[in-house]
Structure 1
């Protein structure tokens, strides 16, 4: 099972939730879904996306490896941004 929930608005283009069930991890599926999600946002005219994740997690490493830039922290989570 996989889940991708997007809540893009013109004020905040944020990925609210982006995760895969454990049996689907580490197979390239997440990378494909993240890239496709960014493509859809860009096609909708959105120029930047932001996301948040807990520090010191596989998710943090995943986003960094995918080219997302760490831009700060909020409420104990790391904030990342990417131009689309």
Structure 2
């Protein structure tokens, strides 16, 4: 996993009728993971355990949770967390 790969990740939207993860929260995690890969910050299991909020509003679908969860699992393996 490289910082460029992390910046290229695109998650699908949650299916209609389902709540996803708030995009801003996930995007902030992507930035943090990229910074950790560059050695600028330390990524901890605590950060990965925080979870993500649901988007606000009736039509706030957010990012597909299964895809985001799979990415977080990959990050855990990559960093040994």
So what's the TM-score if we normalise by structure 2? 0.30
**Structure number having the greater strand percentage:** 1
Identify the structure with bigger relative contact order (alpha carbons < 8 Å, sequence gap 6+).
2
**Structure number having the greater helix percentage:** 2
So what's the TM-score if we normalise by structure 1? 0.29
